[in-house]
Every structure is written in structure tokens, then in C-alpha cells.
Amino acid sequence: MPDNARLWIYQAERNLSQEEVELVESNTQTFLSQWRAHGQDLKSSFSVEYNQFLIISVDESFSQASGCSIDASVHLIKGLESALGISFMTTSQVAFLQNDEINLYPFNQLKAQAKEQIITPDTLVFDNTVQNVAEFKSRWLRESSETWVNRYFQ
């Protein structure tokens, strides 16, 4: 995908097993092969990262995602949630990479986590607010001190 391709990141509330990853990949591939906006095919791709993040991208220079097509992708996510019994839409937890493991901490506990040095300025954090491939490449996973999390260390 080009750097300007639009991107959505869905964070699972827990690490997925290999079998679950395969289900996510199969269902997402099937969905994307049929994904359209106003009758036009969407040039899209996806990946599952760290067995916990489903990342979907669309090259909008080819055809733009519409409200209805985005709603259809949310329907895919809701179907995955139902099949797996987990949430991909929880936005109240922040994901950190610590000792090669993903740890999720609720927003309202970040100050305490920083105070106890469970997270530090050099702890890697996933910024799921990135909106395109370029941002994903440059700032999806960064040290906490380089992100909004830095305010908890002051």
C-alpha cells in the first residue's frame, strides 16, 4: 500500500491464538475480496500484527471508502468479535510492548503505572490513532516519551 493509504487499527483485548489469527485472516481476506464503495472495488490489504492488532488499509487514490463501506468493515469486526468472544473495539486500554509481550493498561491507570515505573519513558507504546500507512510506519510503535503518554512522567 502507498504511504497515503487510509488505515484502521483494531486492537484485540487479548493476544490471539494461532487458530484465532487464522480465522481473522480468513474472514478478513474474504471480506476484502468483496469490499466495495458505490459499486467500485476497494484496493485494500490487511495484516495481523503481534497476534493482537488487525490492520486494514485502503488505497483511496484508486477508490475512496464511503460511509457505507466503512460500516461494512465495522460489521466484519463485529462478526469477528462474536466468533471469538472478544472485543476489537475497546479504546479504553493502551497497548505497550514490554519484554516482547503486549500489555494493556486502562487509561485511568496510566499515571499510577508511570509512578510505579511499570511504564517508563522508554517503554514502547502503540499509537492506534495513526491514519495512514506513512504514519503507521513512522509512529505506530514509539517510546512513550515521544507520545502523549509522556505527560504521565512529569
**What average pLDDT does the chain have?**
93
**Euclidean distance between CA atoms 106 and 100, whole angstroms:** 19
Instruction: Give per-residue pLDDT as tens, 46-70.
Output: 999 999 999 999 997 767 777 778 8
pTM score? 0.92
Residue 2's CB is within 10 A of a number of other CB atoms, namely 13
Instruction: Give per-residue pLDDT as tens, 72-105.
Output: 899 999 999 999 999 999 889 999 999 999 999 9
pLDDT value of position 36: 77
**Euclidean distance between CA atoms 32 and 27, whole angstroms:** 9
Q: What are phi and psi of 18, to 5 degrees?
A: -60, -40
